[in-house]
Chains A and B, each alone.
Chain A
Amino acid sequence: MTRYFTDEHEWIDVDGAQATVGITDYAQGQLGDIVFVELPAIGATVTKGGEAAVVESVKAASDVYAPVSGTVTAANDALGDDPALVNSAPEADGWFFKLTLADAGELEGLMDAAAYQAFVAAL
């Protein structure tokens, strides 16, 4: 399993054609206390860079973009009852949705952990 990062502060774990998407620890820190998450419907198709979910904190509502194109296969229902999971475990239990990749080639150009760390350090 390989983890990639986007410059919009999403992470994506890829295992073959299956992937899991969430927002990074840096993103949750910037947003502050998360109070609501709107997830895509199972079966929905998302396109790379397009809006896929909405995350709302006490400060602001922000779009979460799909790191790659694909079809949504699961959404993290636990976030409905406990949106604080995004704050406490953004890169584990606080995942947003899972999808089947439409084109693995789209992963090229995403950052690895080291590159993302450098990207955040420069912000």
Chain B
Amino acid sequence: MTTINQSGWRPEMGERCSDNVSTFTGNRALMLEEPLLFEIGRIDATGVDLPDTDMDDNRLGGLMRASPVDLPGLSEPETVRHYTRLSRQNYAIDLGLFPLGSCTMKHNPRLNEKMARLPGFADLHPLQPVQTTQGALAVIHELAEWLKTLTGMAAVAMSPKAGAHGELCGLLAIRAAHDAAGSDRSVILVPESAHGTNPATAAFCGYKVENIPATAEGRVDLAALMTRLGPDVAGVMITNPNTCGLFERDMKKISDAVHNAGGYVYCDGANFNAIVGRVRPGDLGIDAMHINLHKTFSTPHGGGGPGSGPVVLSAALAPFAPLPFVEKQGDHFVLIEEETAEDHHAETFGRMVAFHGQMGMFTRALTYILSHGADGLRQVAEDAVLNANYVLRSLDDVLVAPFGASGPCMHEALFSDDGFAEGFSTIDLAKGLIDEGYHPMTVYFPLVVHGAMLMEPTETESKAALDQYIGAVRSLAERARVGDPALKAAPIFAPRRRLDETLAARKPVLNWQPPVDAMAAE
């Protein structure tokens, strides 16, 4: 065999990475240590050069600061380097597979970014006269039409800013509908397999939350739900596909039963990626569902950008939709706001946000939809489900899949830590994944599974990428099963070793404190 790299490291040279070797700077080549701004900034430094001003005559009425603010200053290149160095310690979908379950960390096509940066969209001001924003309103309107078509629903509220905000919108609409009917129903039923934000939303809206158990196969216990329904139940909140990665097959029966009992059905649409183009939630009897544009429709998230959670509403809830919304009148678009809602949208429950929603996310989502087309969106769901099932069946001999016998999974594969050696748990495998160069999967959720590991590969990943990830998880699972003590030390290659999460929660340090040795020197 020919050795290509004649001048590089060779096995006979011994360990190339040793904890005993340290550098003067603390850096390890491209792995750069970076202090906090407060530690590197100087009061006398600044990145801008402002002209001298004569401040003798100000209008602060004697309230001018008497002492300096002590904010750290940096030059522009120092500032750029600070944030660039920090960003290199981050993990992102642009760096590798991001298997965080129920988060749909998919690739954000660059075409989205190009469209969102068009000055006609990017430089808009929310208070511009609508005559000058017709193109932007057309984007919102067209996206709204797509969302209604894909879900089979009558209306959509575009303004909610993310998933939990969308839940709030849906429940406020349900509450408004009950109020309009003179009903004071007080209970929202939430299955165990629902998202954790669901009970929080219901409680925030003033409802009493009651749990509905799951069956042994990981779905809502239909019989238990039917038994509980009654004149005090305002509605149910169901996540479908649920957080066990399973499709709720009884969804239509559940909806019919809830409607017959006078309640409404909220569906958490966080996992819509598994069924987009295949299932219309409206056909399942759902009354309200949020759509995370930042998940299903690819706009960046997870530290990369803001969320956006439009809520589709059934005909029964549509009259209560929040303001504002875009309406097409003839060949132009108008914003229906408080002043213009009186004549045909008087039952609105009000306003949730100051302006019209996340314009940048709308542009990206519509770009994604139009560039995929209806057939492409359908394939998104199919490939996402195929990838998740590939992960499930490639790992279910080394990890326990508690619902593996319940049929194919949807968009995500769920495992437990059963079978690990004494003292080893999900957290050890997750920390090991960091060393392998991956962001860990969702851990310890859903709660119905012991030591849950929830993996969602999305349609983004190729078979080769999945095979490498599966290989890494298999190797870690085997180490956890035999109790490899080195795994308890993971991560050993990350910028920081395993952090004490318990101490961080019990004794959090919430504001910056000067380094101890610097204080001692003063």
Contacts and interface: CB of A to CB of B under 8 A. Distances in A.
Interface of A: 33, 35-36, 56, 58-60, 83-84
Interface string B423-458: 000000000000000000000100100000000000
B502 interface: yes
A4 B254 CA distance: 39
B502 A35 contact: yes
The winner among B444, B447, B502 for most chain A CB atoms within 10 A is B502
B431 to A, nearest CB: 13
A36 B508 CA distance: 12
Main secondary structure of the interface of A (DSSP, over half): loop
B447 A36 contact: no
18 contacts: A33-B501, A33-B502, A33-B505, A33-B506, A35-B502, A35-B505, A35-B506, A36-B505, A36-B506, A56-B505, A58-B501, A58-B502, A58-B505, A59-B444, A60-B444, A60-B447, A83-B506, A84-B506
Contacts of A33: 501-502, 505-506
A50 B444 CA distance: 25
A35 B506 CA distance: 5
Given A33-B506, A84-B506, 16 more contacts: A33-B501, A33-B502, A33-B505, A35-B502, A35-B505, A35-B506, A36-B505, A36-B506, A56-B505, A58-B501, A58-B502, A58-B505, A59-B444, A60-B444, A60-B447, A83-B506
B202 to A, nearest CB: 15
Interface string B43-60: 000000000000000000
A18 to B, nearest CB: 30
Contacts of A56: 505
Nearest to B452: A59
Contacts of B506: 33, 35-36, 83-84
Contacts of A35: 502, 505-506
Interface residues of B, number: 6
Contacts of B444: 59-60
Nearest to A62: B447
A71 to B, nearest CB: 22
Interface in B481-522: 501-502, 505-506
Nearest to B501: A58
Contacts of B502: 33, 35, 58
Q: Which 10 A-B pairs give the minimum distances between C-beta atoms?
A: A35-B505, A33-B502, A59-B444, A58-B501, A35-B506, A58-B502, A60-B447, A58-B505, A35-B502, A60-B444
Contacts of B447: 60
A58 B501 CA distance: 7
A26 B506 CA distance: 21
Nearest to B447: A60
Contacts of A59: 444
A83 B506 CA distance: 8
The winner among B444, B501, B505 for most chain A CB atoms within 10 A is B505
A52 B33 CA distance: 47
A84 B506 CA distance: 9
Nearest to B443: A59
A66 to B, nearest CB: 17
Interface in B229-272: none
A84 B507 CA distance: 12
B460 to A, nearest CB: 29
A84 to B, nearest CB: 7
A123 to B, nearest CB: 10
A56 B501 CA distance: 13
A36 to B, nearest CB: 7
Nearest to A87: B502
Contacts of A60: 444, 447
A35 B505 CA distance: 6
A90 to B, nearest CB: 16
A110 to B, nearest CB: 21
Interface in B390-449: 444, 447
B110 to A, nearest CB: 38
A59 B443 CA distance: 9
Contacts of B505: 33, 35-36, 56, 58
A35 B508 CA distance: 10
A101 B469 CA distance: 56
A78 B151 CA distance: 52
Interface string B288-312: 0000000000000000000000000
Contacts of A36: 505-506
A2 B67 CA distance: 65
A56 B506 CA distance: 10
The winner among A36, A56, A59, A60 for most chain B CB atoms within 10 A is A59
A112 to B, nearest CB: 26
A81 to B, nearest CB: 10
A35 B501 CA distance: 10
A61 to B, nearest CB: 9
A59 B444 CA distance: 6
A123 B501 CA distance: 28
A83 B447 CA distance: 22
Nearest to B450: A30
A33 B425 CA distance: 13
A28 B321 CA distance: 45
A37 to B, nearest CB: 11
B157 to A, nearest CB: 30
Nearest to A33: B502
A24 B471 CA distance: 39
Contacts of A83: 506
B285 to A, nearest CB: 31
B81 to A, nearest CB: 35
A33 B502 CA distance: 6
A36 B502 CA distance: 10
The winner among A35, A36, A60 for most chain B CB atoms within 10 A is A35
A59 B426 CA distance: 11
